Each structure stands twice: as C-alpha cells, then as structure tokens.
Amino acid sequence: MRAIRVYPHEITSGNVNQILERLHNLGVTDILYEAKNVDGKVFYSSKLAEVIDDRLSLICESAKEYKMRVSVWFCTFPEGYRGRLLGSGISRFLRKNPDCAAVDDEGYSTLEHPVPCDYGLENYACPANPKVQDYELGLIKEIVKGYPVNGIHLDFIRYPIPGDYCYCDYCTTHFKNTFGISIKDEEASRYLLKWRQQTITDFVNKVYGELKSVDNNLLLSALVWKYDDCLKFTQDWKQWNMDFISPMFHHKGLFKRPIWVRNEIHKNRTMSNKRMVASIGGLYSDLFTKKEWDLCEKYAIEGGAEGILYEHYGLLEVVSTLENSRMSDIKKIMRWNLFLIDHSIRVRISKLRRSS
C-alpha cells in the first residue's frame, strides 16, 4: 500500500482528475480523504454534522477511473479548532452539548481553555462520554452506508494532549461507580491511565464491530503514536481490533536522519503483530527532497512495514517533489540548513537566558 492524505480544500471539480492521475502515476494506491475535520465540520452529505460541501462524492467517483481505493480520514474527538490549518470554529454538536467537552484537572473545559495543538487550538469532546461516542459512531455509519468507501482511518483517537483529561461530570461519576473512590483522590492515579486506555480501546473495538456489520470488507485503521510513546497518550493499540495501524515515524520533526525510520519501525514490529502502514513525513515534510521521501519508503519496508502513508501539510508540494525537480530539491536543502542554523541559535539563546 502506498497511501496519501488529501485535505478537502486541495480537491475541486476542476482539478480532481488531474491530481488523481498524477498520484496514480506515482504509484499511490490509496487516498485517505479528510471527510471530518478537527473543527467538527464535514465534507460529505450529513444529517448529523455541519456540512461544508460534499467533496467525498467527487473523489470517490474520480478514484474509480484510476482503480484507487478511498478511505475516510476521520478526526474523531476534536469538535472545534482555530489556527492556521483547515477549518475554524466550534461544531454544532459541542455548542449544543457543552457538557460533552473534555475537562482538565483544574475544572476548565476545552471550551473555556482550548487545547494547544499543531498550528492552533482545539476544543475537544470527552472520549468517555456515551453521548460523544454515539455521535461520532453515527457519523462513521453515515459515511460507510452512504458512500462507496473502502474504510475509515481514525485520527485523534485519544484523550486531549497536553494536559490531564478528563474530569467532566460523566467521568467523575463513572470513575466513582467503577472504583469506589473519587477521581481526584491520590489513590486514583493508580487506575486513571489504564482506565483511559481501556475507554479508547473499547470505543475503537466498537467501531470495528459496527464497520464489519455493514460490510466485512471495510477496513478500519488509525494514525497513532509509536508504541513506546502511545501508552501515555491513552492509545494501547496492541489491544485494538484494526486492519492496520499507522504509527507516526516523522523523523524530521525529531531532527533524526531517515534511517531512524527503519530502526523505529523494526522496534515497533517486535512489540506488536499488528499490520503496519508507516506514517512518514509530518512536520517539515514541505522541506523533504525526493531522495528523502524515497529513503523513508525504503527504510519503512526494510523495517517491516507493509506500506507507507504520506503524511503532510500540503498535497501539491509533496506531489511536485515526488515528480522530481532538482532545483526544488536544492532550494529545500538550503531552506532546511537555514532553519537548523536559526533553530540552533534560538536554543542557545534560550539556554543562556535560563542560566542567567
């Protein structure tokens, strides 16, 4: 599998065939189309959520011509966002159900204190609340019953990070009923992380069962943290019923060389027997050269992944790079080196300020 993430604003009726033809020529087999955004708005025909427009129909129809599979990228528990990425505002669901917002350990909901994230702030729903779970599952069932998609790819399938969540009324009551102590008791720390991990596991497995009841050929997958990181982020994905997992092996954001991808994938493969389609790219992927993308794919397969997922913040940037432009690669290398110099200076200044 060679999959790529596609954002709704990158596809129009005027360019969809041209873009899919370019992707097909690059060997891309799977489109992971973001049909539910972090702001809770959707890009398909929905009776439950606020609809921006129905570009899912557009991409499903065009993909047939190129025999490409289409799965839906589903931003699960965020229901509001403001920042530099796609989308803005709080979903109708969370506006109507403010009691469904996740609450931190100081008693502030994500409506009052949004959660910092990539390029912005998120308003997160409580992953444990049955009303939230029913709503998100309802959206997923709308999609798989209404569109010829091949599967659902879950993102943000976890509690909010950073911070300590959730202490909403539902979580407080449910925890007390389960363990016989207050969620704020010192002793509660013995149970909280495992309890939250199990909440996510139970929801994922419920989604899996619902998908297979609609069509056993539908695939469930998810973007997750690497296994040595995922547990603290409430994602015990070894326990999930999944057709494949996409851990994030985003080397450049960690200032690692591409060979790091192979080593990390191999380590994750030894921790789980899950089928793995490695997510590569991520932060600074706009500065990847073609050689860097190719090396990441090579190392991913060598490490034991069954395929790759191009994760990025700009489709056309990735496509143009993969189609190769030596001048573009030279510019990317120069920009990256300038960034490293600037980053190094900022780190040194920060250290000097702390020491003084």
Tell me the whole-structure pTM to 2 decimals.
Answer: 0.94
* Residue 348 domain flag: no
In the chain, the number of structural domains is 1
* Residue 107 domain flag: yes
* Amino acid in position 69: R
In angstroms, the CA 325 to CA 322 distance is: 8
* Residue 283 domain flag: no
CATH of the domain at 214: 3.20.20.80
* Amino acid in position 299: Y
Q: Could you list the residue range(s) of the whole structural domain that residue 73 is in? A: 2-247
In angstroms, the CA 243 to CA 255 distance is: 31
- The number of helix segments (H) and strand segments (E) in the chain equals 11, 12
pLDDT at position 346, please?
A: 84
* Residue 78 domain flag: yes
pLDDT at position 356, please?
A: 64
* Residue 155 domain flag: yes
pLDDT at position 342, please?
A: 85
In angstroms, the CA 229 to CA 67 distance is: 36
pLDDT per residue, tens digit, the chain (356 aa), is 999 999 999 999 999 999 999 999 999 999 999 999 999 999 999 999 999 999 999 999 999 999 999 999 999 999 999 999 888 999 999 999 999 999 999 999 999 999 999 789 999 999 999 999 999 999 999 999 999 999 999 999 999 999 999 999 999 999 999 999 999 999 999 999 999 999 999 999 999 999 999 999 999 999 999 998 999 999 999 999 999 999 999 999 999 999 999 999 999 998 888 999 999 999 999 999 999 999 999 999 999 999 999 999 899 999 999 998 666 788 888 888 888 888 888 878 777 777 76
* Residue 152 domain flag: yes
pLDDT at position 154, please?
A: 98
* Residue 278 domain flag: no
* Residue 215 domain flag: yes
Residue 78: closest CA among 93, 60, 57, 99: 93
DSSP secondary structure code for residue 42 in this structure: B
